[in-house]
Amino acid sequence: MDLKKLLNKEQYEAATTIDGPLLILAGAGSGKTRVLTYRIAYMLDELDIYSSQILAITFTNKAAAEMKERVKALIGSEKVSNMWIATFHSCCVRILRREIDKIGYSRNFTIYDSDDQKVLIRQCIKEIGINEKDITDKEIISKISSAKDKLINPQQYKNENSGNYKLNKIADVYILYQKKLKENNALDFDDLIFKTVELFKREPEVLKFYQRKFKYIMIDEYQDTNKCQYEFARLLASESKNICVVGDDDQCIYGWRGADIRNILDFEREYKNAKVVKLEENYRSKGNILKAANEIIQNNPHEHMKMLRTRSDDGGKIKVLRADSDIAEAEFVASEISKTKDDEKRKYKDFAILYRTNAQSRLFEDVFIKRNIPYRIIGGLKFYDRKEIRDIMAYLKIINNPLDNISLKRIINVPKRSIGATTVAKVENFAAEIEECLYNAILDVNNIPGLSSRTATSISKFVSILNSFIRRKDEISISILIKEILEQTGYMDELKKSDDVQDRARIENLQELVNAAVDFENTSDDKTLSAFLEKTSLVADVDNYDEDADTVVLMTVHSAKGLEFPVVFMVGMENGIFPGGPAFTNSYEMEESRRLAYVGVTRAKEKLYMTSARIRRVFGRTEAFTESDFLNEIDDNLKETFNLRNDFSRDTKQGFTKSSSWNLNSVPKEVPPKNIQFNSSRSERGLENIKDNEPAILLEKDISKGTKVKHSKFGKGTIITINKIDGHVNLTIAFENMGIKNLRLDMAPLELL
């Protein structure tokens, strides 16, 4: 390989710097996957480093698989066979399968998904006696997950929050929850990394083994790591210091789920002799799209400023749409997709609609169905979250790990076999008395008090079926095991006898589960049941994204990270939605929202639309929103602004009707509609007190909601709310070109229009 010809100057430097700590700051679309691929190939082919000494961490299974295939294509599969390219979670599962017995678990542990986790948390809430109206299971799960991300164990959490009644109760749940997880020989998703770090710290010899094994460590998307992931990497790299991290502080968008941007910003402080390489040449997007992205992101503070550049032409301007309503916005997007597809001979898969929250997809779905536009949603109900799939997966989990009480309870009466909730409660009480798991309790069914002979017989038949599966699980393939479960339990027969249309779809889903097992058997080196359960537990929604399916893609900007599309519609670009309300009172929230906007813009390769609506339905109410401040951060020369004021107009009887076409370069005045409730989150914003040398012209008696005013700096606006706080009159004003501002009447230079 002649890397100097294959890579640009900065890419070459990053790919050939092997020893010591290396920070690669890779701007969007700058070819970081290419750099990592060639870096690995260079290490294996040119430097003769053993593949078993390399650990490459990615954030999705899809990315890991693609990287491995690329390296194989460059230097052959033989040299790559022993290299670990994996996500944090799958890497840690692999370590724990070998070593977890050293911290008191069995190696056949179950990985609990979010549904299993919720069931167990609710059990703990009930046992402790917490009223779910006071503390919800969702809040408790969030707090426990956050604690694990920060490497805080249950007792530490209890000690740190002893003075706070609510958090102290959550600590009690955390303690009991971890106890029950261990009894079930189960780990939740956060435990996979948390317990690996615990293992490394408790067992120095284990840590030394993996430090010697992995002399070269590479971590992609480093800006999205949390404290637990950071510590895992730090411990492994502390011996060799050969750690290469790749990331972009401008694309840190997962702070809400624990990602700590300081991990990438402080890399040079952690590793004093670290080398830094910036990748700023973009190979994805047209010039105007990159200029718009640069103009948005430069408004954030930076320690490592990057400016994306490209050798491509500028392309068209960014199309900025202002629609009368959310319905008109959706109608426009559908019309533009149909028109562009025909005019430019594009396919549906060339188009992506990106929004900030999943709830925004509904209107687009309605319009697409009406217009027969094929679409798919990334981030909806996952295949493995469907009831019928979860049922059969629960059978597989209990067959693999009989200590798993949650899975056993799920399927003990599925399909129905006359084992109701009262019976299950009696089994649970008996299991508690003999201090055994539920499976061991039902093995001794004749000694469980209070059971009728009919119920005892039903349980015995269930136990007999389970035992036959457990005995044969290592003798038959996963696909055959699933077929036998469906047949011998009567699960498939029950669905076939049903007249419900949904049950026919469930049969197809179960057939697809068998197909998934066959694919696993054909592609996986480890064909055990444990390995199959790991694969299905760790699959991410984006891992199932099929780039070849010819449909329009609808997804959140968060889900779109790492993907690219020829034509992108960023919708709902309004203050209060994108950015969300909290961003206006919290600078960190605003910075992350701006990074999210940057990520959205840089998903577009050729065309970018940014749309907003004057009014939209929110929780059943019609609310008015001003255009997103992020749109105002883009230079006017880069934008082609138009509106739909005359395109889809409201008819009081018929709803929205289409009339004339949209008008280019006609920017409407922001006049809030009458009788519209404004987004309440705006009242949370801090006041922007601009002192003027001259006294305020207006008095309180001069103004009311809807009054038109003019500010010496912000221009024309409309008063939305008037509030008195500490004797001062505070105004929330929607300005035509400057968005929403909060001002004090006695300090702001305002005059009536």
Identify the pLDDT of residue 665. Answer: 36
User: Which residue bears the tokens 């299971």?
Assistant: 137
pLDDT above 80 for 264: yes
pLDDT above 50 for 554: yes
Is 323 annotated among the ligand-binding residues?
Answer: no
pLDDT above 90 for 204: yes
pLDDT band at 373 (very low <50, low <70, confident <90, very high): very high
pLDDT above 60 for 664: no
> What is the spatial distance between Cα 64 and Cα 81, in angstroms, rounded to a whole number?
14
Instruction: Read off the DSSP letter of residue 579.
Output: T
Q: Which residues are catalytic?
A: 32-33, 220-221, 251, 603
Is 620 annotated among the ligand-binding residues?
Answer: no
**pTM, two decimal places:** 0.77
Range with lowest mean pLDDT among 234-238, 408-412, 581-585, 670-674: 670-674
State both tokens at 488: 């011998």
Average pLDDT, the chain: 87
pLDDT band at 654 (very low <50, low <70, confident <90, very high): very low
Instruction: Read off the DSSP letter of residue 87.
Output: E
pLDDT band at 545 (very low <50, low <70, confident <90, very high): low
- Measured at the alpha carbon of residue 580, what is the angle toward residues 745 and 575, in degrees to the nearest 5? 55
Identify the pLDDT of residue 17. Answer: 96
If 0-12 CB within 10 Å is exposed, 13-18 middle and 19+ buried, where does residue 159 land?
A: exposed
Is 163 annotated among the ligand-binding residues?
Answer: no
pLDDT band at 680 (very low <50, low <70, confident <90, very high): very low
Is 32 annotated among the ligand-binding residues?
Answer: yes
Q: Are 590 and 583 in contact (CB under 8 A)?
A: yes
**663-691 mean pLDDT:** 37
Task: Give me the residues paired with residue 742 across strands.
Answer: 732
Contacts of 721 (CB under 8 A, 6+ apart): 678, 682, 683, 705, 731, 732
Tell me which residue of 5, 6, 573, 41 sits closest to 322, measured CA to CA.
Answer: 573
